[in-house]
Structures are given as structure tokens and as C-alpha cells.
Amino acid sequence: MRHLQTAFTNFFGKRTKYPRFKSRKKSRQSAEYTTSGFRFRDGRLTLAKMTEPLDIVWSRPLPEGARPSTVTVSRDSAGRWFVSVLCDDPSVKPLPAADAAVGVDVGLDHLLTLSTGEKVANPRHERRDRTRLARAQRALSKKARGDGANRCKARRRVARIHARIADRRRDHLHKLTTRLVRENQTIVIEDLAVRNMVKNRSLARAISDAAWSEFRNMLEYKADWYGREVIAVDRFFPSSRLCSHCGSLAGAMPLHIRKWTCDNCGTVHDRDVNAAKNLRAAGLAVTVCGAGVRPQRRTPGGQSAAKQKTLRREP
């Protein structure tokens, strides 16, 4: 009833479509139990209308003295069952304040490039299992349509490969985001429109495999847990074309250009490291001034300044 109430609230708020029943075949199967619907004693979970506790392999022990308020049992498309327990964790508390701030530029050649110059390699999890996935998808496509046993087995075989890829990707992102949040007080990222970027057929698969949106979501909720700050810089801010040394703005810069030399000061820039440095500087300006980050349209002291001097000299 609470879920139905939320669905109708979102519908009348014009945020979603009219609520419809969940499909057992297509939707993720799940059931939510409140306090009166389960019993948790001595690390054993018993659901309503069950005589014996569930046989669960816990990924980690619950916090000492924790009392679960909600239990959600779900099954994914690969046929794996999960139990999610909602409770308060007293160990999650703000970390001691730190002076470090870092700019993070995401990419495809390297998953992350930090303003410190460090580059994190892109594991490309999907590419490692691409051959197995293609073979399983071809086998599935040859099975007759319907609810036959052979088609269900083939579909589950594809789902298991997808689940393996997603698990590796999620584990890697958890380790990266936890490290960034623990080491830095302020983390500056770029506000990318990933939904629009995946419309590029040439880069859609690589962008989806990089999971930039999931990286940002993890970073934001962990920063909220541990008292850190995440700043998203405007997506039109020219972080790659702006010289981090003198502030001059370069011209058009296609993606294949990975290094460039500033025409004003002669500094040789690595494209990704330069972008991360500019993001860090822009984020620190936000924390100090409280102003938003706007895209820079003209070069300081460049053509616009020369035109102004010329106009002033005219009688």
C-alpha cells in the first residue's frame, strides 16, 4: 500500500506514468517485509508464514545491537536470491576534516584522471566477457519464442554473464569511490549528460561500460555519509581547452588530441590532467565564493581584450 501510494503521488505530480501491475516475467521479483512480517534473532532471519529460518550466506555481519526495520527479498534475472536488511549503522559517521581537494576527470582511455596527475586504468569489464556474451546471445536468439525450458535456460545463461560483468564493475567502483572520499574533503567532478552521450553509436558501449552515472551516485551518497563535499561543475565549462597555467582558452579540440601546447605560455598539457586541474580550481572557487561555475566564452587578455583597446583608441 505504501508503494501504491508513492506511485500515485508521483503520477499526480506528473513525474511518472499511471501505475501498473508488476510483471512476474519482466520485472524484478521482490517482496518487502516490515517489522511485523519477520523475526530476526541471533543472526537468523525468519519471514512470515515460515517455520524455519532462511539459509542465508551473509555478505557481512550486521552492526552490533542493530534492529532491522525492513527486510526486502528479491531475485535478479540470473536467478540469484538476495536479502536486503535496513537498519541504522552507528559506525557510519563523518570522518575527520581533511585539507585535500581533488578534481576528477572521467574518460574512456583512463577511467579516472585526478588533478594530482594520477590515472586510473579503465578495466573494460564488458570487453573481457564480450565473446562469451555474444555466444550466449546467439544461442538465445535461436530458441523458439515462448516460455519453453530451453529458452529459459538460454536466457538465464545470458543473465548470469551480465550479472558477472555488473558485479565486477560495481566492486571496482566501490573501491575507487571509498578511497576518494576517505582521502579528500572536496571532490570536484563534471556534470555530464550521460543519457545524451550514449546516443552516440560509436561510443555507447564504452560509455555504458564505464558507468559514469553509477560512479557519481556512489560518490555523492558516500560523501554525504562521511561529511565530504562533492561539487559538480557545469558540463559546458571548457576544462579540456582551458590552460591551467595561464588561463587562456584554446580553440576547437577533437577527442583524438590527447596533448596540446598553449599558444600563450607554451605549456605542454596532457588533456585529461589539465581538465582535472581546471575542475579542481573551479570547484575550489565555488567553495570560497559560493558562485556557480559558468562556461568561459572568451580568453582573458585575448582577442576580446585587443578589440576593446582598439575601440578605445579610435576618436
- Note if 272 is an active site residue: yes
Is residue 315 pLDDT above 50, yes or no? Answer: no
Tally of CB atoms within 10 A around 222 = 19
pLDDT in tens, 182-207: 999 999 999 998 999 999 889 999 99
| Percent of the residues in the chain that have a pLDDT greater than 90, as a whole number | 61
Q: With the C-alpha atoms ordered 232, 233, 235, 241, is the resulting torsion angle positive or negative?
A: negative
pLDDT for the residue 147:
81
Per-residue pLDDT of 141-154, as tens digits, reads 999 988 889 999 99
Do 163 and 80 contact (CB within 8 A), yes or no?
yes
Res. 308: pLDDT tops 80: no
Instruction: Inform me whether the pLDDT recorded for 230 exceeds 90.
Output: yes
164 pLDDT exceeds 90? yes
Catalytic residue among 190, 209, 224, 314: 190
Which residues, listed in sequence order, are joined to residue 188 by a DSSP beta bridge? 103, 231
Q: Which residue among the candidates 64, 105, 126, 270 is catalytic per the annotation?
A: 105
Please give the pLDDT value at position 313.
38
* pLDDT number for residue 307: 40
Residue, of 168 and 287, whose pLDDT is higher = 168
Record the cell numbers describing residue 186, joined without a space: 572536496
Q: What is the pLDDT of residue 284?
A: 87
Question: Is position 171 annotated as part of the catalytic site?
Answer: no
Q: Is the pLDDT of residue 129 over 60?
A: yes
pLDDT tens digits, one per residue of 36-93: 999 998 889 999 999 999 999 998 888 888 889 999 999 988 989 999 999 988 888 8
What count of other Cβ atoms lies within 10 Å of the Cβ of residue 45? 20
Task: Return d(Cα 302, Cα 247) in angstroms, integer.
Answer: 10
pLDDT band at residue 235 using 50, 70 and 90 as cut-offs: confident
Active site residue 270: no
Is residue 311 scored above 50 in pLDDT? Answer: no
Annotated catalytic residue within 42, 220, 234, 272: 272
Check residue 290 and give its pLDDT. Answer: 56
pLDDT in tens, 248-263: 888 888 888 889 898 8
For the entire predicted model, the pTM comes to: 0.82
Return mean pLDDT, the chain.
87
